[in-house]
Amino acid sequence: MEFAVFSLQTLIFVPIFSLLLLYISLYAKPKKNDPPTHGFKIYPLVGTLPDFLRNRHRFLDWSTEILSRCPTNTSVFHRPGKVHGVITANPQIVEHMLKSNFDNYPKGPRFRTLLQDFLGTGIFNSDAGVWKTQRKSASHEFNTKSLRNFAMDNVALELRTRLIPILETAAATEKKLDLQDTLERFAFDNVCKVAFNVDPNCLTEKKDEDLLSRFIRNPRNNSPQFLRDIVINFILAGRDTTSSALSWFFWLLSSKPLVEQKILKELEFTRKKNNKSLGESYGFDELREMHYLHASISEAMRLYPPVPIDTKACEKDDTLPDGTFIGKDWFISYHTYAMGRMESIWGEDCCEYKPERWIENGVYRQESPFKYPVFHAGPRMCLGKEMAYIQMKLIAASVLERFAVEVLMEKDECPEHLLSLTLRMKGGLPVRVKERIV
């Protein structure tokens, strides 16, 4: 029976797929004299599918190239089955969808259904009342000084007892490390402790300041399924995003020795100013003084944002600020990866790793979240933004002042993207570390 079903599916699918390939080769192949297109090329019946299939292995760079050629860095995208949408790298449109006309652009049923099995009804996969309930509870907890201090203490402990010893051993034995994997495992331990009061390695004492406790205490929303969804969503936020940002940061830094030297000088200045010796952890105020390190991490996320694309649904017909029409039930995606590479936003040097673009009179300068939507923007802006920066700066500072990180890849070779919900490196980040001579 199963073989018969398989055979039937094969008989139906193979001819259709073969016809599609024939169509692409005969009609959808760009010709020498074809005029240049501004936006995604839309073919009869199959929409943008042919070009998407040709470029699926490099989707981020391909779509960035397309949007950069569009007058307003925005293009309509068609797929078979009447699936239409808009992809944009325009800050005005980002502000329109994430703030000015927020209610018209929810996650939407299509997106929620696609990720239902993975994210359930957690904060990243919910709308309306379900989202507001979680947002309110999490917002209260993120704004408490006790959680901030707890998070700081936990990262410092994790660094001292886990990450630094691993790097010391690797340096002593000249062992090759996958730094991306190491940072992901470190971030997993950290987020489990901070958010859910669970330490996979059982090294810290129990405290009742975690996010999960607040949700459990709410009798209206404490079913096992609901709490499971919360756990998965916060692990995704705390593990994948910070480890992704730091992986790309260390890779970029490996080819920018002048940037690394400026960071090390800033760390040395901060230590001397605060009478700290090497090995003592930095405090919250000391980390806030590290403007150049902050700029260096921000610049890494501008070029390699942890969440490269985010998608919403359009509830009713609308006209976007650049005049683009978007219909009811269309999707709309803002392309954060592409926005970091738009000359119209960042200038001619947009593809260069240049932390100085964030510094003004020696101080880190904030950018509009609609120009730099790495932490989202508007009512759904990331609650953990400041905590994430503090944690990433503490990790980066503690590693860099003790170790030189050598990336084991060809010079100027960019790691291949592993396109998923977060921007990870395919195959990891192979490195060797050496202890710095103090």
Per-residue confidence at 209, pLDDT binned at 50, 70, 90? confident
Q: d(Cα 216, Cα 236) in Å, to the nearest integer?
A: 20
Per-residue confidence at 78, pLDDT binned at 50, 70, 90? confident
Asked if the model's pLDDT at residue 113 lies above 80, the reply is no
Asked if the model's pLDDT at residue 422 lies above 90, the reply is no
pLDDT value of residue 198: 66
Asked if the model's pLDDT at residue 22 lies above 70, the reply is no
Per-residue confidence at 14, pLDDT binned at 50, 70, 90? very low
Asked if the model's pLDDT at residue 117 lies above 70, the reply is no
pLDDT tens digits along 247-300: 999 999 999 999 999 999 999 999 999 998 887 899 999 999 999 999 999 999
Asked if the model's pLDDT at residue 23 lies above 60, the reply is no
**Most confident of the following: 113-122, 342-351, 374-383:** 342-351
Q: Provide the 8-state DSSP code for 365.
A: -
* Displacement of CA 135 from its chain's centroid (Å): 19
Asked if the model's pLDDT at residue 309 lies above 90, the reply is yes
pLDDT value of residue 11: 44
Q: d(Cα 333, Cα 111) in Å, to the nearest integer?
A: 11
CB 228 within 8 A of CB 120: yes
pLDDT value of residue 2: 35
Which has the higher per-residue pLDDT, 217 or 176? 176
Asked if the model's pLDDT at residue 176 lies above 70, the reply is yes
**Most confident of the following: 146-160, 175-189, 350-364, 419-433:** 350-364
Per-residue confidence at 303, pLDDT binned at 50, 70, 90? very high
Q: d(Cα 66, Cα 359) in Å, to the nearest integer?
A: 30
Asked if the model's pLDDT at residue 53 lies above 70, the reply is yes
Q: What is the mean pLDDT of residues 101-110?
A: 86
Asked if the model's pLDDT at residue 205 lies above 60, the reply is no
Q: State the SS3 of the chain.
A: CHHHHHHHHHHHHHHHHHHHHHHHHHCCCCCCCCCCCCCCCCECCCECHHHHHHCHHHHHHHHHHHHHHCCCCEEEEEECCCEEEEEECCHHHHHHHHHHCHHHCCCHHHHHHHCHHHHCCCHHHCCHHHHHHHHHHHHHHHCCHHHHHHHHHHHHHHHHHHHHHHHHHHHHHCCCEEHHHHHHHHHHHHHHHHHHCCCCCCCCCCCCCCHHHHHHCCCCCCCHHHHHHHHHHHHHHHHHHHHHHHHHHHHHHCCCHHHHHHHHHHHHHHHHHCCCCCCCCCCHHHHHCCHHHHHHHHHHHHHCCCCCEEEEECCCCEECCCCCEECCCCEEEEEHHHHCCCHHHHCCCCCCCCHHHHEECCEECCCCCCCCHHHCCHHHCCCCHHHHHHHHHHHHHHHHCCEEEEECCCCCCCCCEEECCCEEECCCCEEEEEECCC
pLDDT tens digits along 310-335: 999 999 999 999 999 999 999 999 99
Alpha helices in 106-239 (DSSP H): 108-114, 116-119, 128-142, 145-158, 164-173, 179-196, 211-216, 224-235
Global pTM? 0.83
Largest Cα separation within the chain, whole Å, is 76
* Displacement of CA 326 from its chain's centroid (Å): 26
Domains of the chain, start order: 128-304+351-435 (1.10.630.10)
Per-residue confidence at 346, pLDDT binned at 50, 70, 90? very high
CB 295 within 8 A of CB 324: no
- Mean residue pLDDT of the chain comes to 82
Asked if the model's pLDDT at residue 431 lies above 60, the reply is yes
pLDDT tens digits along 219-245: 555 666 666 556 665 666 556 789 999
